C-alpha cells in the first residue's frame, strides 16, 4: 500500500510516543513478573503519525495483551489502515513478546469500533456488561 509515495509495511513502523524503541516495562501497580505494560505506541510513515495504540497491558503468563484505545488519525480514516495497523501490532506482539491473543477493551463508544472489531477483524465479542470487549487471535496469511 502506498501513502504519499511511501509503501507501508504493517510491522515496521511502531515506535514509542517519543520515538523510543518499544519495550515492555513492569506495571507498578502489580507485584508480579507476569503483568507488563507498553507505552503509547504510534504507527508512523515518514514524519506522519497514522495511528496510535494506548493503554496496553500484557499478561506474559496467559500470552494475552489488553488494549484500552486503538485509533487511526482522522485524516487517514477510511483508507483501510486500521486493519493493517492491527495486523502489524499483533505480529510485533507475537514476534517480540510471544503474545498470541489481543483483547480490545476499547474505551471509545463510537459505533465504528463495533463494526471494525466484528466485521473487519472478525473478533469474538466478550459480553462484559454495558461495554463489551473483543477477543482477537491474529493469524498470519
pLDDT number for residue 106: 87
Per-residue H/E/C for the chain:
CEECCEECCCCCCEEECCCCCCCCEECCCCCCCCEEEECCEEEEECCEEEEEEEEEEEECCCCEEEEEEEEECHHHCCCCHHHHHHHHHHHHHHHHHCCCEEEECCCCCCHHHHHHHHHHCCCEEECCCCCCEEEECCCCC
Write down the pTM of the prediction.
Answer: 0.75
pLDDT in tens, 35-78: 888 888 888 777 778 888 998 999 988 999 999 999 999 888 88
CATH of range 2-22+37-136; options 3.30.160.60, 3.30.420.10, 3.40.50.2300, 3.40.630.30: 3.40.630.30
pLDDT number for residue 132: 78
pLDDT in tens, 74-116: 888 888 888 888 888 888 889 888 999 999 988 888 888 888 8
pLDDT number for residue 102: 92
pLDDT number for residue 34: 81
The residue ranges of every structural domain in the chain are 2-22+37-136
At residue 2 the predicted structure's pLDDT band, cuts being 50, 70 and 90, is: very low
Amino acid at each position: 500500500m502506498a501513502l504519499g509515495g511511501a509503501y507501508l509495511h504493517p510491522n515496521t513502523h511502531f515506535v514509542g510516543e517519543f520515538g523510543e524503541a518499544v519495550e515492555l516495562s513492569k506495571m507498578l501497580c502489580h507485584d508480579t513478573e507476569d503483568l507488563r505494560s507498553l507505552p503509547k505506541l504510534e504507527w508512523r510513515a515518514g514524519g506522519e503519525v497514522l495511528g496510535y495504540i494506548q493503554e496496553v497491558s500484557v499478561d506474559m503468563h496467559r500470552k494475552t495483551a489488553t488494549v484500552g484505545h486503538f485509533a487511526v488519525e482522522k485524516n487517514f480514516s477510511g483508507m483501510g489502515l486500521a486493519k493493517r495497523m492491527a495486523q502489524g501490532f499483533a505480529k510485533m506482539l507475537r514476534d517480540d513478546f510471544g503474545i498470541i491473543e489481543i483483547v480490545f477493551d476499547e474505551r471509545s463508544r463510537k459505533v465504528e469500533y463495533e463494526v471494525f472489531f466484528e466485521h473487519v477483524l472478525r473478533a469474538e465479542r466478550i459480553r462484559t456488561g454495558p461495554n463489551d470487549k473483543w477477543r482477537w487471535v491474529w493469524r498470519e496469511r
